[in-house]
């Protein structure tokens, strides 16, 4: 009888042990709150201290798509740049490749001649490099934008290429001279004959002077008839008288 009770007790103990191993214990999670200790921003002693963490208001982001092998970008230089600009919906609004001749543009870096995103967006680049700029509207055209091309508060995306950098603006390219037309054989344009000189009216011809009356030749002296020969006093013989 005792052995039988011991077996039952042993069986119960084994069952209890097995149940304890297979039944998962309920876990309780104690909720806790993580407290962030406010940090004091380091400021000079003469500026009133404030408590809190600085937060970015807006940032200029970029991706270098090609590392240039030329000189590093410097401030106070003239940058010659190719670019294409899009709105965030994919609308292209401008590109240097679409300008006449596909020429890049030149601007003085940091001189506020372009949007603020461009005045700082080339830092760290090298000549020949390419970069994609993600420009928030605060560093682009602001709250008002440039309607109708740039909407209000429009963030912009630019692909830029730093083509060259110089101390002075590059000289504008001289446009190629227009080809000259082949010379056609020059025709001799007949000169307009000068107005013929009106012949001057000959001065009144000198009326030939009436020849002076020819001197009537003096009446030729009529040859005097030979005087009748003097009849000889002796009459010739009369034939009857012979």
Query: Domains in the chain and their CATH numbers?
Result: 57-166 (3.10.50.40)
Query: What distance in Å separates the CA atoms of residue 79 and residue 122, rounded to the nearest whole number?
Result: 9
| pLDDT band (50, 70, 90) for residue 65 | very high
- pLDDT score at 205: 53
Instruction: Enter the tokens of residue 163.
Output: 């083509």
Answer yes or no: 109 catalytic.
no
| pLDDT band (50, 70, 90) for residue 56 | confident
Answer yes or no: 78 catalytic.
no
Please tell me which residue in 109, 122, 137, 141 is annotated as part of the active site: 141
Instruction: Write the DSSP symbol of residue 110.
Output: T
Please tell me which residue in 78, 94, 134, 155 is annotated as part of the active site: 94
Residue 175, pLDDT > 70, answer no
Q: Is 134 within 8 Å of 157 (Cβ atoms)? A: yes
DSSP lists the bridge partners of residue 108 as: 78
Tens of pLDDT, residue by residue over 74-89, are: 999 999 999 999 999 9
- Closest by CA position to 64, among listed 192, 162, 205: 162
Whether the full predicted model's pTM is greater than 0.85, yes or no, is: no
Torsion, Cα 122 124 128 132, to 10 degrees, reads -50
| Three-class SS state of 148 | coil
Tens of pLDDT, residue by residue over 94-127, are: 999 999 999 999 999 999 999 999 999 999 999 9
Q: Is 97 within 8 Å of 81 (Cβ atoms)? A: no
Please tell me which residue in 62, 79, 109, 115 is annotated as part of the active site: 115
> DSSP strand E in 103-155: where?
105-108, 130-135
Residue 51, pLDDT > 70, answer yes
Tens of pLDDT, residue by residue over 187-241, are: 555 566 556 555 555 555 555 555 544 554 444 544 445 454 444 444 444 444 3
Answer yes or no: 137 catalytic.
no
């Amino acid at each position: 009888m005792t052995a039988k009770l011991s077996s039952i007790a042993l069986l119960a103990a084994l069952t209890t042990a097995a149940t304890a191993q297979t039944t998962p214990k309920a876990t309780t999670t104690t909720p806790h709150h993580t407290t962030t200790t406010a940090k004091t921003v380091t400021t000079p002693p003469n500026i009133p201290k404030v408590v809190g963490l600085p937060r970015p208001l807006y940032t200029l982001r970029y991706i270098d798509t090609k590392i240039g092998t030329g000189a590093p970008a410097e401030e106070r230089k003239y940058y010659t740049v190719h670019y294409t600009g899009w709105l965030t919906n994919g609308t292209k609004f401008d590109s240097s490749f679409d300008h006449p001749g596909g020429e890049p543009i030149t601007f003085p870096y940091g001189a506020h001649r372009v949007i603020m995103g461009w005045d700082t967006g080339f830092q760290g680049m090298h000549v020949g490099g390419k970069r994609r700029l993600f420009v928030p509207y605060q560093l682009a055209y602001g709250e008002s934008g440039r309607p109708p091309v740039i909407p209000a508060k429009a963030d912009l995306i630019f692909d830029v290429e730093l083509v060259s950098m110089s101390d002075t603006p590059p000289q504008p390219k001289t446009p190629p001279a227009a080809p000259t037309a082949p010379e056609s054989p020059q025709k001799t344009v007949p000169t307009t004959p000068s107005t013929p000189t009106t012949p001057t009216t000959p001065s009144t011809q000198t009326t030939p002077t009436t020849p002076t009356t020819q001197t009537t030749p003096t009446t030729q002296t009529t040859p005097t008839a030979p005087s009748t020969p003097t009849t000889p006093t002796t009459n010739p013989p009369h034939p009857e008288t012979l």
